[in-house]
Chain A
Amino acid sequence: EAGVAQSPRYKIIEKRQSVAFWCNPISGHATLYWYQQILGQGPKLLIQFQNNGVVDDSQLPKDRFSAERLKGVDSTLKIQPAKLEDSAVYLCASSPSSYYGYTFGSGTRLTVV
């Protein structure tokens, strides 16, 4: 089966600019997650979708981060405006349901300068 697709792979932006990441989960996976992984740390959940509804966004910095999953398939994560501390790898993951383990995408490495 095809894996979780993410784009772009790398992005360099200046602080205060905006950026968007895209994720296409494995076909049929109802649950989609966005994680932030800062260098040397474990992944931290930003937002969890079940189909096109938000299950958990308690750790999403809503003043600058937003995410949507239209039609319950693809998802986009946006940061506006970016800060230096947003430099990280943004990982998208999907699973058939929260009962199962995740499959991660390759991630987007964001550098804010």
Chain B
Amino acid sequence: GENVEQHPSTLSVQEGDSAVIKCTYSDSASNYFPWYKQELGKRPQLIIDIRSNVGEKKDQRIAVTLNKTAKHFSLHITETQPEDSAVYFCAARGDEKLTFGTGTRLTIIP
């Protein structure tokens, strides 16, 4: 089955700086890669996703890049704000189901 690794597990950045979270996946047939944001005690919410036929996707301050050859994808958050503080999960879809990474706790330092 699919295996997704996520790094780092924790990340602290100064407000206004950029944050990057990286994930690798094992199943070369995986074709869909969403990112979820989970605030404390709340449900995971989809913030951006990318399909395997695209190398990069951007939505305002967040962007995702995908390298199919290397089987890794990354989340980039620019101009970070305090409300970006949360746990972020990457996921990869193989066999019609999502496998999640272990999460990155992002803390924005004012």
Contact = CB atoms under 8 A, between A and B. Distances in A.
Interface residues of A, number: 21
Contact of B100 (A44, A48, A98, A105): A44
A21 interface: no
A45 B97 contact: yes
Q: Kindly name the residue among B1, B6, B44, B93 whose own CB sees the greatest number of chain A CB atoms within 10 A.
A: B44
Interface in A78-113: 91, 98-99, 101-107
Nearest to A40: B103
Interface residues of B, number: 24
Contact of A48 (B6, B43, B97, B103): B97
A14 interface: no
Given A98-B96, A104-B45, 9 more contacts: A33-B98, A45-B99, A55-B97, A58-B1, A91-B43, A98-B93, A99-B32, A101-B34, A106-B42
